[in-house]
């Protein structure tokens, strides 16, 4: 049993990626507190931020994030919403009550 399917010949094209694999040309300064419970996400985001010249303090839950904010005073805090022990929204509310803005 044989059948023929008419089709055009496929020619692969080289497509440049939208995302550069080169480190960013702009270097930033500052300290970032990253609260992320998933280890792979925490590692990936930390590497990205460090490649931009930022110092990263990484923790795995909201309670640790609040403790680190009170002792390290980072320039910015990135909070995951769903984390064990204390979620990101609760940590955010507590930090606001402590005077962080």
CATH number for position 42: 3.40.50.2300
Q: How many domains does the chain have?
A: 1
Q: Is residue 82 part of a domain?
A: yes
Q: Which domain holds residue 55?
A: 31-97
Helical residues (DSSP H) of 1-101, grouped into ranges: 39-51, 62-72, 88-97
- pLDDT at residue number 13: 74
- pLDDT at residue number 53: 92
Joined together, the tokens standing for residue 12 give 């692969």
Q: Is residue 43 part of a domain?
A: yes
Q: What is the pTM of this model?
A: 0.73
Q: What are the mean pLDDT values of the chain's consecutive 10-residue runs (101 residues total)?
A: 77 67 74 96 95 95 96 95 94 92 81
Helix/strand number for the chain, H first, E second: 3, 3
Rounded to 5 degrees, φ, ψ at 100 are -80, 140
Q: Is residue 24 part of a domain?
A: no
- pLDDT at residue number 27: 84
Q: Is residue 73 part of a domain?
A: yes
Q: Residues for the chain: how many in total?
A: 101
Joined together, the tokens standing for residue 72 give 């390290």
The number of angstroms, rounded, from the C-alpha of 11 to the middle of its chain's C-alpha atoms is 37
Task: List CB contacts of 46: < 8 A, sequence separation 6 or more.
Answer: 34, 56, 58
């Amino acid at each position: 049993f044989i059948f023929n399917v008419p089709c055009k010949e496929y020619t692969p094209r080289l497509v440049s990626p939208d995302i550069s694999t080169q480190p960013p040309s702009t270097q930033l300064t500052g300290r970032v507190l990253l609260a992320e419970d998933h280890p792979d996400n925490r590692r990936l985001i930390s590497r990205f931020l460090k490649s931009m010249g930022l110092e990263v303090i990484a923790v795995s839950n909201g309670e640790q994030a609040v403790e680190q904010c009170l002792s390290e005073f980072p320039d910015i805090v990135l909070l995951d919403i769903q984390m064990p022990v204390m979620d990101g929204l609760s940590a955010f509310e507590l930090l606001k009550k402590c005077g962080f803005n």
